[in-house]
Amino acid sequence: MGYYKRRVHRKFYWLTPLLLGVIIGVLIVSVAIPELMKANVIPQATTDGTSETIHNGLNKPLQNTSVSVDVSTQVTDVVERVTPTVVGVTNIQRQNDFWREKGSIEAGTGSGVIYKIEDGNAYVVTNHHVIEGADQIEVVLYDDTHVEAEMIGSDLFSDLAVIRMPSNTVNDVIEIGSSSNVKVGEPAIAIGNPLGLMFSSSVTQGVISGTERTIPQDFDMDGRPDWQAEVIQTDAAINPGNSGGALINIYGQLIGINSMKINEAAVEGLGFAIPVDHALPIMQELETNGVVERPFLGVEVYSLDEIPHQEWEDTLALPAEVTGGVYIWSVQPLSPADQGGLERFDVIVELDGKPITNVIDLRQILFHEKEIGDTLPITYYRNGEIHETEATLTAQ
């Protein structure tokens, strides 16, 4: 009996170290290995379908595995939704050259945005310079459908125009956003037709680079600015042909009408758009009246800095303390200026109590701060003496 007990004891003596080894192995697998993998001491790899590079202890890639990416992002969804509302706009003009056969030519192309459908018509906003001088306007939809359109109204100073076409081929209009809450750094997407209709519905993406920028504009191409446009700046690529296209936010809402680009070899990523909050009232007025009615003073004026300083004293008889202003070249008969007593070679230095240094200052006050019917106080110099008068503004 005693011999049997000794045999049993010898038979199961190995159980204790076995159980101890199992416990130690479980601890290594569940605790030690994960900590070593986090520290990149041992290689790691994912097996969830989105594989990543396997690393060694020196944090150097050992091999590359395939990466699965879902391309159905918010940007692609937004672009897919908005693209049908952005169209091509073709400016067609009649030839009047005696030496050529009479007919029509394509004078230029741009872009436009469908923003409203009403009473069987679709309304498109584009740039003034896109349709300027057009005898006929053709709209090209995103699916290459060509539709004849008519101009409702156009405005030089805002560089905006509204055209209208039948809505039977149009299904979507763009959602109007707001440019007042646009922030620098937020995403911006430009959609249009750069370099013509062969690149129609092109999409570029960037960020808002600046808000409330002022850009000088030279309408008569004489090298001197005639106006300052307030614009949104973006680094999304905007090229010739993009004019009139849509600048949208990440939600697909219209925040600007693409209008200008600085085309210099040394400049990249500098595009501009008319803020939609500035554009909407002008679009509505163009729909209603065909023109934007602005206060009219009735003078042809030039900035003092356009003539030599010697003329300030010899011709205009200005005192030395005058440092800026606009001189009157002509006064339209029966205009507010004429009725206010202004004459040729008078120099306006203040409007409504605010200093005037150039033509842009004068237009900013007239067009942005005054209304038709307002009485405008004017301070001016004549033959070296300062005078004051008033003019009641009428419609231009």
Q: Which fold has domain 75-166?
A: Thrombin, subunit H (2.40.10)
pLDDT of residue 18: 59
Q: By the 8 A CB rule, do 184 and 206 touch?
A: no
Class of domain 295-395: mainly beta
pLDDT band per the 50, 70, 90 thresholds, residue 188: very high
One fold for 75-166 and 178-289 = yes
pLDDT band per the 50, 70, 90 thresholds, residue 140: very high
Going from N- to C-terminal start, the domains of the chain cover 2-63, 75-166, 178-289, 295-395
The whole-angstrom separation of Cα 322 and Cα 313 is 10
Catalytic-residue membership of 159: yes
Tell me the per-residue pLDDT of 252-281, one tens digit each, with 9 for 90 and over: 999 999 986 555 544 566 889 999 999 999
158: which 2 tokens? Answer: 């805002």
Give, rounded to a whole angstrom, the gap between the first and last alpha carbons of the chain.
128
Tell me the per-residue pLDDT of 64-104, one tens digit each, with 9 for 90 and over: 445 444 445 788 889 899 999 999 999 999 877 656 666 77
The whole-angstrom separation of Cα 318 and Cα 307 is 13
Residue whose structure tokens are 């509505």: 284
Catalytic-residue membership of 129: yes
The whole-angstrom separation of Cα 170 and Cα 166 is 8
Lowest mean pLDDT, pick from 13-17, 276-280, 283-287: 13-17
pLDDT of residue 262: 56
Catalytic-labelled residue, pool 159, 235, 346, 361: 159
Catalytic-residue membership of 387: no
Phi first, then psi, for residue 378 (nearest 5°) are -130, 130
0.85 surpassed by pTM: no
Least Cα distance to 95 among 107, 84, 86, 79 occurs for 107
Tell me the per-residue pLDDT of 367-393, one tens digit each, with 9 for 90 and over: 889 999 999 999 999 999 999 999 999
- What is the maximal distance between C-alpha atoms in the chain? 143
Q: Give the residue with greater pLDDT, 223 vs 363.
A: 363
Catalytic-labelled residue, pool 111, 129, 158, 361: 129
Contacts of 249 (CB under 8 A, 6+ apart): 177, 182, 186, 187, 188, 189, 255
- Residue 396: pLDDT above 80? no
Q: Which CATH superfamily is domain 178-289 in?
A: Trypsin-like serine proteases (2.40.10.10)
Catalytic-labelled residue, pool 243, 259, 278, 303: 243
| DSSP-based helix, strand, coil % in the chain, nearest 5 | 25, 35, 40
